[in-house]
Amino acid sequence: MDHFDYHAVRATPVSTDAILHCERVPAEAIARAVGTPCYVYSKATLVDHFVKLKTAFAALNPLICYSVKSNGNLSVCRVLGELGAGMDVVSGGELYRAIAAGVPANRCVYAGVGKTDEEIAQALDAGLGLFNVESEEEFENIAKIAAAKRVVCETALRVNPDVDPRTHRYTTTGKKETKFGVDIERAKAFFRRYGRDSFCRLNGIHLHIGSPIYTTEPYVESVRKATALIDELASEGFSVTTLDLGGGFGADYETDQTPTLATYAEAIVPLLADRVRAGLRIILEPGRTLVANAGVLLTRVLYMKSSGEKTFAICDAGMNDLLRPSHYLAFHFMWPCQTTAAFRPSRRAKEMGMDGLRSIDVVGPICESGDFLAIDRPLPPLRRGDLLAVFTAGAYGMAMASRYNSHPLPAEVLVDGASLSVIRHRERYEDLVAHERHPANVAML
């Protein structure tokens, strides 16, 4: 699953403690070196997950485009880019990040419903590999800008196969009622209208039905609908040469929660192998499944507090650092980084089945009642100064962090074996106001 493990360490001649390590570096040593809160990523986990995905889908020889929105740190993108990954981007800023990380634009695919004219022009100038188009007006606009620049670009139509991925409603994107893509019934009309544009070549189908998806059935259903559409389009003379399957594969917020990457592949590969041999190109857009378990958030307990029937652990990380619990009511396993052998976790789960745990609300410093990392969470006894690890935080953690209440953004570090690199320095108070120091008058016409 990942390279975050508790190692047994002799505490006294008669007792043993369990100490969390990222690869070969103790979590406490990281916290002392860079402070808290901080995000810690394991390079070995990133590499391991990418290799497993590539191996599982080897029969399809896919272009694996890492979803930058899940974690856009340059060093994270660089690790994956050096393994051969392309990048899935949803903004001009993410395309800029991908290129800055050393990934060429022709290995990037660009989705998103609200691409501005400036972003489209930026992508065309950079030599983007593929636009994933979300609407008729967007296609017309890309085609107009491409024609003005005399640049030919490749596009894929994002199609909603009307498949229920059975995930959170905020992250369900394959139903008719979402803002993304076009209904599968409209796709043929879309191709008839735009499929022969001279500068904006429409030769792909893009699917992305949601995230995280913990069963293979939604993928099977959506792929079957997409290949049926490809065959119908072929009967009308349209050649679809690219099928982008999107992402959405799960991550283990609890131990063994998600199918293995091989399991996903076993369901999907047989549906597409013959078409790939006939020339169809496959693109995958994984994000969470590569980076979620590759990261933890370290946070220090500032104070313990009792109020009525509640016990609170007030920490230096809150919803500004990790939004998912308050935004999605998402579960993240958390545990002290140093604990007694009796509390050494053998798995990660909502119910740990250990004697001596206490029900604790783990909350942050933000002035919002909705600022929490966990509610009524069974945990070992905590005290001021304890270091907590919030697991499976590598995806949509730092990417969704904010400076709310004027808290500087946390540091990010990358561990490689026994070495530690600061890949994003902790912000200072001056960074909070740097862009406000020098107001400038703007002349109005």
- What are the catalytic residues? 367
The structure tokens listed for 217 are: 């059935």
CB contact at 8 A, 119 and 143: no
The structure tokens listed for 399 are: 């990417």
- As a whole number of angstroms, the distance between CA 54 and CA 286 comes to 11
- Residue 419 burial (CB count, 10 A): 11
- As a whole number of angstroms, the distance between CA 42 and CA 25 comes to 10
Radius of gyration from C-alpha coordinates of the chain: 24
- At 366, the amino acid letter reads I
Which residues does 254 contact at the CB level (< 8 Å), separation at least 6? 331, 333, 347, 348, 349, 350
- The backbone torsions φ and ψ at residue 99, rounded to the nearest 5 degrees and listed phi first, read -65, -40
CB contact at 8 A, 316 and 364: yes
CA atoms within a 13 Å half-sphere pointing along the CA-CB vector of 5? 11
Distance of CA 87 to the CA centre of its chain: 12
Of residues 205, 163, 207, 164, the one with CA closest to residue 188: 205
- Whether residue 62 has a cis bond before it, omega within 30° of 0: no
Of residues 253, 284, 88, the one with CA closest to residue 167: 253
- What is the chain's length? 445
The structure tokens listed for 443 are: 């002349």
CA atoms within a 13 Å half-sphere pointing along the CA-CB vector of 258? 22
To which residue do tokens 């979803």 refer? Answer: 67
